[in-house]
Amino acid sequence: MIEARRLHILRAVADHRTVTAAAAALYLTPSAVSQQLAALEQETGHRLVERSAKGVRLTPAGEILLGHTNAVLAQLERAEAELAAYGAGSAGTVTLASFATGIGLVVAPALARLTRTAPGIRVRVQDAEGDASLPMVLDRQVDVAVAVEYRGAPDADDPRLTPIPLYAEPFDAVVPVTHRLADAPEVPLADLAKDPWIGPYPGNPCHDVVVLACEHAGFQPRLEHSSDDFRAVVALASAGAGVALVPRSALRGMDLGGVVVRPVDGVAPTRRVFAAVRRGAEAHPLIRPVLDALTEAAAVD
């Protein structure tokens, strides 16, 4: 008989590619993870992982079991949801991870709604970049992620996750007030090819949006200054340090005295924001109201 907790470990190893990283995500020791993998191999009668200097990868037998693992764990999430519904499930705690702008734009309004519509549900919020929250859901560190589409993100049909679209927003060009294009009604990205750029660090989903937009305009941005804090990005642009692309919602409430904000000429780069839960958990009586509140908050905005 295969134990479900060992399937969780197998999936974590497949996701993180090393025993050490999987152990850290699961709050276990590497030796405990290795022992559980060995026990799982004994239960199945097959070698499931191969170790090398670069990490761990699944064997063909491991890949077969991983496919079933995703289905089994999703079904267990559904079972928990139905049992919680049977037991009323009107009170409890839901953990949620979101990037900072998403917290201000949809998470905080959703929490305000929940105090009226589902007062028994307590939501604990953690600030996490758009590419960090999805692994936190898969590793069961949080129940819900508010994330941004990015290169390498799980596909919409990933068997491990259920995504719920929330909103999409354009990036605007931010240039110093003294910039040659400051008076232009719209800014063609190609005209910024020779400027120094300010942007998020590689790995941040917004970095991917900026780089891809510039590549489509025919150039690689010369990123001279890096910050994941858009207030810092705007402050640097205000000081004349360079130009930037910033999500429109991130500009709300900022001091824009030293910069000019203009829409991008043509098709604007866009970030798409969605909520995600482990597949099967979307019907949980504690999680469903949170997802509905996030969707309602995004629709109002």
Return d(Cα 268, Cα 76) in angstroms, integer: 42
Residues in the chain, how many? 301
10 or 83: which leads in pLDDT: 10
Smallest CA-to-CA distance from 244 within 202, 209, 275 is with: 209
pLDDT of residue 301: 63
- State the amino acid at position 185 in one-letter form: P
Confidence tier at 291 by pLDDT (50, 70, 90): very high
Beta-strand relationship, 222-226 and 144-148: unpaired
Task: Return the number of other C-beta atoms located less than 10 Å from residue 116's C-beta.
Answer: 8
For the segment 66-82, the average pLDDT, to the nearest whole number, is 83
On average, the pLDDT of the chain sits at 90
pLDDT of residue 89: 59
> CA distances (Å), 232 to each of 72, 98, 199, 226, 246, in order?
45, 20, 10, 9, 11
For the segment 277-293, the average pLDDT, to the nearest whole number, is 93
3-class secondary-structure state, position 19: helix
> CA distances (Å), 203 to each of 38, 69, 228, 300, 301, in order?
33, 28, 10, 30, 27
- 130: pLDDT strictly greater than 80: no
Residue 65 CA neighbour count, 13 Å, CB half: 26
Contact between 175 and 155 under an 8 Å Cβ cutoff? The reply is no
Helices (H), the chain: 4-16, 19-26, 30-44, 60-86, 100-102, 108-117, 133-138, 205-216, 230-238, 287-300
Beta-strand relationship, 270-278 and 144-148: antiparallel
pLDDT of residue 188: 95
Smallest CA-to-CA distance from 10 within 45, 34, 29 is with: 34
CA angle, 271 as apex, 269 and 277 as ends, to 5°? 160
The string of pLDDT tens digits covering residues 214-263 is: 999 999 999 999 999 999 999 999 999 999 999 998 998 888 999 999 99
Confidence tier at 76 by pLDDT (50, 70, 90): confident
- 102: pLDDT strictly greater than 70: yes
pLDDT of residue 156: 77
pLDDT of residue 137: 94
Beta bridge partners of 163: 276
pLDDT of residue 85: 64
14 or 85: which leads in pLDDT: 14
Residues of the chain above pLDDT 70, percent: 98
CA angle, 150 as apex, 190 and 69 as ends, to 5°? 160
Confidence tier at 4 by pLDDT (50, 70, 90): confident
Kindly state the helix (H) or strand (E) to which residue 251 belongs, with its residue range: none
3-class secondary-structure state, position 50: strand
Confidence tier at 88 by pLDDT (50, 70, 90): low
- 83: pLDDT strictly greater than 80: no
- 152: pLDDT strictly greater than 90: no
Task: Return the number of other C-beta atoms located less than 10 Å from residue 301's C-beta.
Answer: 12
